[in-house]
Structure 1
Amino acid sequence: MTGMSSLVPQPRGFIEKSGGAQEFTEAWLANRRLSEHTRAAYRRDVHGWVSWCTEQNLDPLRATFLDVNAYARALEARPMAAATVARKMSGVSSWYDFLVKLQAVPANPVSGADRPYVSRDHSATLGLTPGEVGDILAAADRQHGPTALRDRAVITFLADLGLRVSEACGLDATDVGWERGHRTLRFVGKGGRARRRALTPGASTALDAYLSERGTHPGPLFATATGGRLDRHAVFRLVRKLAAEAGIPGADRLSPHSLRHAFATAARDVGIPLEDVQDAMGHADPRTTRRYDRDRHNLDRDPSYSIAAARARRSPA
């Protein structure tokens, strides 16, 4: 632990000190390459756990897997979706992994806890058909006002590229460029991984229309009226507003992630190989990409048809 004492508080007794848990959490987050959105989520997850421990008069450094189980059951009783509980426990588990490395605790109590089962074959995100995506883009085309061109460009980036909302909001003007005849985006995605994507003609056209108004000066690509960075909450509201104007059922339950799911489904439906879709979306695990593909169980895509057709072509007339 040489050299770490200047970076993190002393582990024993830090919970009792005012702000100690927050200070330790910030040291943990500083050692992770995370987006601001993920960093904020992890911060909330650990704060929730530490607050619950305080209510139970429990020192988090002495918590066992039984305590973690009790916390998970308390979250489920609120009620809270299994996927949300699992995500919160994942954040707390990462926090404890950091404590283990610092020898503040002998083991990670979350490792032995009973985590909620979350099917990798299911996503709670409300999906969109290709026609509904087209309707949202058409609704964006009909907008007027000072933010209309920006909003059209944002929606087109989400629909045509399947970007995460954090990736779209985090883009800077300098991330846009050209490479071997392709209009490109270069940015840092989830997990601190460098990403590169090609703009579609539609995305490029929408971007140029917006840049003609915004200008090409440095700074956030998608900016507010004051020059600040457009945030994810504004994009959530935009997606739902456009979906409602397009008459899409469940518009108030849609999110930017719905467009990301639609991108994966459409790509697979037109025959794009799974690994290419995985790379485009920046997924580390192909199973995640498969979960995003809402049409993966469509019998029209059953490989038996292709195999039978190939066999027929090989057979003599």
Structure 2
Amino acid sequence: MTLAVSPQARDALEAWLAQLSAVRGAAAATIRAYRADVVDFIAFMAVHRGGTEGLGPLMQVDVRDMRAWMAHARGQGASGRSLARKLSAVKSFYRWLAEREGVEATAVLSARAPRFDRKLPRPLSEEAARAMIDRVELQSETGWIAARDAAVVTLLYGCGLRISEALGLAGRDLPMGDSLRIRGKGGKERVVPVLPAARQAVERYLALCPFPVETDAPIFRGVRGGALNARVVQKVTEAARMQLGLPATATPHAMRHSFATHLLAAGGDLRAIQELLGHGSLSTTQAYTSVDGVHLMRVYEATHPKAR
């Protein structure tokens, strides 16, 4: 099947994406994913409904059309998770079309994504997390690089940062105090506490780093002075976890998962952890309750009036 998108449909798509970027502050990666998902949907509907041009195919979508599109996507190898993401993008586009063009969106908005098993986070134990930080520092014989890698991984575990957030820190964020203001996904800001160990790791790296601290330049530098690439951190942690005999799931992102899980195990409030992680929805953070279900049962048995 040859897929094509008419100029009118493409103009509508770009207008919607521009609004997402300008008004909602959607991240560039989100915009790219939404564009690809909705382009596939628009093109499929144009062909499925007989090659009609313009917005016509989008205004006439019914339940059978939605089923045909989802069957097509699955036939192209889309997983249940992937199809759910695609449907979410299409629904968002149709909500905009309904407001802007008066499109009847009931068939699209009532479509249900297939069920899929959510992959639960794979945190490290407290001992393994500490060992990972120590081992990462041993991967380079160059002092400032070793200190840099340890500082990055310490921030992931000590502050619950995404790797992109840690590498996005700039000179303006220094000197590092008791807290950091982080700009996360979708441009959302949050304040996270900085443990003394994390602050000290960063200060040690900065004292050894051969490149000057500049207000608008990233704190963490590559060997030639440019911004440190996330792949470098991934390779270093991969080498460290293999030396420690840890599973393949012991990635930089697992350090962030470990931060959340260990806070929960220590009695941390789920909504507070949601804020620290920068999750837009509590349901995302609630995945950690499945990870540490044993601890939650102990808390329940110790505190619930009817359990005592």
Q: Verify: 1:260 aligned to 2:256, yes or no.
A: yes
CA-CA distance at 1:85 after TM superposition:
1.9
User: What is the rounded CA distance, in whole Å, between the counterparts of 1:76 and 1:255 in structure 2?
Assistant: 30
Per-residue deviation, residues 229-259 of structure 1 (Å, max 9, x unmatched):
445555444443432332212x1x5544322
User: Given the two structures, how large is their TM-score scaled by the length of structure 2?
Assistant: 0.78
**Which aligned pairs between 1:2-17 and structure 2 lie closer than 5 A?**
15-16=6-7
2:120·2:291 contact (CA, 8 Å) conserved in 1? Answer: no
User: What is the rounded CA distance, in whole Å, between the counterparts of 1:226 and 1:44 in structure 2?
Assistant: 35
The alpha-carbon distance between structure 1 residues 273 and 215, as it changes in their structure 2 partners (threshold 3 A), is same
Task: Decide which of 130, 134, 137 is 2:133's aligned counterpart.
Answer: 137
Counterpart code for 1:99: L
CA-CA distance at 1:297 after TM superposition:
1.5
Per-residue deviation, residues 292-311 of structure 1 (Å, max 9, x unmatched):
34543206624213458x97
The alpha-carbon distance between structure 1 residues 85 and 130, as it changes in their structure 2 partners (threshold 3 A), is farther
User: What is the rounded CA distance, in whole Å, between the counterparts of 1:172 and 1:160 in structure 2?
Assistant: 18
1:184·1:197 contact (CA, 8 Å) conserved in 2? Answer: yes
The answer for the alignment partner of 1:4 in structure 2 is none
1:45·1:91 contact (CA, 8 Å) conserved in 2? Answer: yes
Q: Verify: 1:244 aligned to 2:242, yes or no.
A: yes
Choose between structure 1 and 2: higher helix proportion. Answer: 2
User: What is the rounded CA distance, in whole Å, between the counterparts of 1:274 and 1:291 in structure 2?
Assistant: 10
2:120·2:290 contact (CA, 8 Å) conserved in 1? Answer: no
User: What is the rounded CA distance, in whole Å, between the counterparts of 1:161 and 1:173 in structure 2?
Assistant: 18
The alpha-carbon distance between structure 1 residues 75 and 133, as it changes in their structure 2 partners (threshold 3 A), is farther
2:147·2:204 contact (CA, 8 Å) conserved in 1? Answer: yes
The alpha-carbon distance between structure 1 residues 195 and 150, as it changes in their structure 2 partners (threshold 3 A), is same
Counterpart code for 1:30: S
User: What is the rounded CA distance, in whole Å, between the counterparts of 1:48 and 1:240 in structure 2?
Assistant: 35
2:158·2:259 contact (CA, 8 Å) conserved in 1? Answer: yes
SS in 2 for 1:110: helix
Q: Verify: 1:40 aligned to 2:32, yes or no.
A: yes
Which segments of 5 or more consecutive residues in structure 2 lack a partner in the other structure?
Answer: none
User: Given the two structures, how large is their TM-score scaled by the length of structure 1?
Assistant: 0.76
Counterpart code for 1:189: G
Runs of 4+ in 1 over 6 A off after TM superposition: none
Which segments of 5 or more consecutive residues in structure 1 lack a partner in the other structure?
Answer: 1-13, 312-317
Task: Decide which of 266, 271, 292 is 2:288's aligned counterpart.
Answer: 292
SS in 2 for 1:41: helix
Per-residue deviation, residues 122-180 of structure 1 (Å, max 9, x unmatched):
434443332332232122121214643332222111111111233223332213445xx
User: What is the rounded CA distance, in whole Å, between the counterparts of 1:241 and 1:54 in structure 2?
Assistant: 49
The answer for the alignment partner of 1:216 in structure 2 is 213
The answer for the alignment partner of 2:147 in structure 1 is 149
1:154·1:168 contact (CA, 8 Å) conserved in 2? Answer: yes
* Identical-pair percentage: 29
Counterpart code for 2:192: R
2:183·2:189 contact (CA, 8 Å) conserved in 1? Answer: yes
